[in-house]
Structure 1
Amino acid sequence: MDIQVVEKNEMRVVGISWNGSYSQTSTIPKLFTEFEQRLEEISFKTEEPVLIAPFHSRETEFTYYVTAPVEKITDIPEGMVGFTIPSKNYVVTTHKGKPEEVENTYNLLFTWMKEYGYEQDHQALSLEIYKEEHKALNASGDLHFEIYLPVMVYK
């Protein structure tokens, strides 16, 4: 598994949100379907063919967003949210495989971070980035997406 540390520039996104317990995560794939049905409602989308899924994880629950990158945040459609993700350093890898293997990919990232002395920034959003080129694979259950975990940088 290829793991690296990168800096991502600030991004503006508009999309839908979901909040729930870890036992309710099976509802997340439906968010993508719902969001894609409403994608045309979003103004000023960038040309980048991706969906960005930022999320906050907490001890007992998390908040998950399915969003599209936008050039500016205006005219947010009803029931959606718009926000800016600040420039940040991330540990990144690509998950390739079945949905039930996603947790293993995250655990490998956490192990790598510990081994190389990186500490996750729990105040920042983690990201999953889904590229248009993998849409058919993802729909068939063979997931391909990038995982970005925010890390603390000590100068």
Structure 2
Amino acid sequence: MNTPQVVKENELIIVGYRVLCEGDEYSLEIPKAAKSLKMNLEKISNAVSPPQQIGAFMVEENSPDEDGYWLGVRVSDSSFVPEGMETKTIPEQTYAVTLHKGSNLVIRETYEKLHRWIEDKGYIRLKNSWHLERYLNWGDPDDLEVELLETIQPQDQ
């Protein structure tokens, strides 16, 4: 595992699919949404190039509207959303970031290491804020390369 870093990301708008299922089903349902997104990418006319799949979720949602996992691509604006897709706007936030390489079935181990690093460095995880997964290689769920972005409270606040 690489050494985690702290980064501040600007507002992000994604268009794609909302995956809503039981917790243990996400490792099966997210790859299906990724495949569908890849097949329908040309329908997203305002996608930022090059297209990169981004997942967004809350660990502890504030309402049922925030429950689930959004998988989409970054867009320049939310003026056009293809039929059957949704848009999600992620505000500017500060993240602890690390890279996961390997199967989606063992991604939790990488998250656990990142969570320990966050705690060891004295950061506070913001569980009711949007967390991101930025897929660098998303063709094969058994061979992923994904940046894990856990929302944290900046230490100067």
TM over 0.5: yes
Aligned counterpart in structure 2 of residue 93 of structure 1, from 70, 73, 98: 98
Letter matched to residue 90 of structure 1: Y
How far the C-alpha of 1:38 sits from its partner, in A, is 1.4
CA RMSD, Structure 1 to Structure 2 (Å)? 1.9
**Structure 2 counterpart SS, 1:77:** coil
**Structure 2 counterpart SS, 1:110:** helix
Matches within 5 A, 1:12-27: 12-25=13-26, 26-27=28-29
In the other structure, the counterpart of 1:5 is: 6
**Unaligned ranges ≥5, structure 1:** none
Cα deviations across residues 21-62 of structure 1 (Å, max 9, x unaligned)?
Answer: 212122221110111111111121111331111112349xx5
* Counterparts of 1:10 and 1:48, CA distance in 2: 18
**Unaligned ranges ≥5, structure 2:** 62-66
Could you tell me the TM-score, scaled by structure 1's length? Answer: 0.88
* Contact in 2 for aligned 1:12/1:85 (Cα 8 Å): yes
Cα deviations across residues 87-134 of structure 1 (Å, max 9, x unaligned)?
Answer: 110000000122222110000011111111111112211110012xx3
Matches within 5 A, 1:39-118: 39-58=41-60, 62-118=67-123
In the other structure, the counterpart of 2:30 is: 28
Q: Name the % identity.
A: 31
How far the C-alpha of 1:140 sits from its partner, in A, is 6.8
The runs of at least 4 aligned residues of structure 1 exceeding 6 Å deviation read: none
Paired positions, count: 150
* Contact in 2 for aligned 1:55/1:126 (Cα 8 Å): yes
Could you tell me the TM-score, scaled by structure 2's length? Answer: 0.87
